[in-house]
């Protein structure tokens, strides 16, 4: 079809064209605005292995504690697996005093997310999302305590695996519904749908 034919189709079925755009765009904006605010929280953990050897007390080189840092990075890997474990997640919710969501075990593995600045770093960033600001803060604090308890239990069973885990203060920020973005996307999609509809109607009218 030529460009002028599209304009003719729009002109002939202008009411239908505008109705589709207004309904889709308006409905999307309304539904998005009715969505509750969500809260995203993050806490940073730093894992450090307790080195029983100090460089100033021995006569061989410790490579600037290179192996201790590598070992700390491996524990950070383990912690990443912990936070995706349904049993650990259950302990976290219990410690936070929040009811565990009635969902599948698979969904429990997605409640907490982790990110590391690099593959071998001993720093781990843990994030989560909640409908309540206080809940996000409580969950992150509880997760930190559960991880530290797990670490202490490991050290108790095996003194050679003795680590310190330092946690930052959890940071929680509000995440408002993306009204403008969703509305803009809905407008573009509705424009395409409206154009296809009036073009199809014009095609049918020409066949009669």
Residue 62 and residue 142 in one domain: yes
Using pLDDT thresholds of 50, 70 and 90, give the confidence band for residue 55.
very low
Distance CA 145, CA 167 (A): 9
148-161 mean pLDDT: 81
Residue 13 and residue 109 in one domain: no
Residue 23 and residue 43 in one domain: no
Beta bridge partners of 143: none
User: Quick check: 5 pLDDT over 90?
Assistant: no
The token pair that represents 100 in the structure block: 């565990």
Q: What is the DSSP letter of 164?
A: E
User: Quick check: 180 pLDDT over 70?
Assistant: yes
Q: What is the DSSP string of 97-123?
A: T-PPPSS-HHHHTTSEEEE-SSTT-SE
Q: Which of 40, 41, 46 is nearest to 148 (CA)?
A: 46
Q: Which of 150, 169, 171 is nearest to 161 (CA)?
A: 150
Q: Which of 43, 165, 169, 168 is nearest to 114 (CA)?
A: 43
The token pair that represents 157 in the structure block: 């069973």
Q: In terms of pLDDT, which residue wins out, 3 or 86?
A: 86
Residue 106 and residue 170 in one domain: yes
Residue 95 and residue 130 in one domain: yes
Residue 28 and residue 71 in one domain: no
Residue 110 and residue 147 in one domain: yes
Residue 154 and residue 186 in one domain: no
Domain that holds residue 13: 3-35+178-207
Distance CA 185, CA 192 (A): 11
Residue 51 and residue 128 in one domain: yes
Q: For the chain, how many structural domains are there in total?
A: 2
| Global confidence as pTM | 0.70
In this structure, the chain runs to a length of 208
175's CB contacts (< 8 A; 6+ apart) are 37, 38, 39, 40, 129
Element containing residue 38 per DSSP (H, E): strand 38-49
pLDDT in tens, 13-48: 889 989 999 999 999 999 998 888 889 999 999 888
pLDDT in tens, 78-137: 888 899 999 999 999 999 999 888 778 888 889 999 887 766 678 889 999 998 889 999
């Amino acid at each position: 079809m030529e460009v002028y034919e599209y304009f003719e189709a729009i002109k002939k079925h202008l009411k239908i064209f505008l109705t589709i755009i207004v309904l889709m765009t308006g409905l999307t904006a309304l539904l998005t605005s009715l969505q509750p605010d969500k809260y995203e929280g993050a806490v940073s953990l730093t894992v450090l292995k307790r080195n029983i050897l100090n460089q100033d007390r021995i006569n061989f080189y410790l490579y600037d504690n290179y192996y201790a840092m590598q070992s700390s990075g491996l524990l950070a890997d383990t912690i990443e697996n912990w936070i995706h474990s349904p049993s650990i997640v259950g302990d976290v919710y219990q410690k936070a005093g929040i009811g565990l969501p009635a969902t599948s075990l698979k969904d429990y593995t997605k409640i907490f997310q982790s990110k590391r600045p690099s593959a071998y770093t001993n720093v781990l960033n843990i994030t989560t999302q909640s409908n309540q600001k206080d809940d996000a803060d409580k969950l992150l604090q509880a997760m930190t305590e559960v991880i530290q308890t797990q670490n202490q239990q490991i050290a108790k069973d095996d003194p050679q695996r003795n680590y310190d885990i330092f946690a930052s203060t959890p940071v929680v920020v509000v995440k408002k519904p993306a009204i403008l973005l969703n509305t803009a996307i809905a407008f573009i999609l509705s424009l395409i749908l409206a154009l296809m509809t009036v073009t199809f109607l014009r095609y049918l009218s020409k066949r009669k």
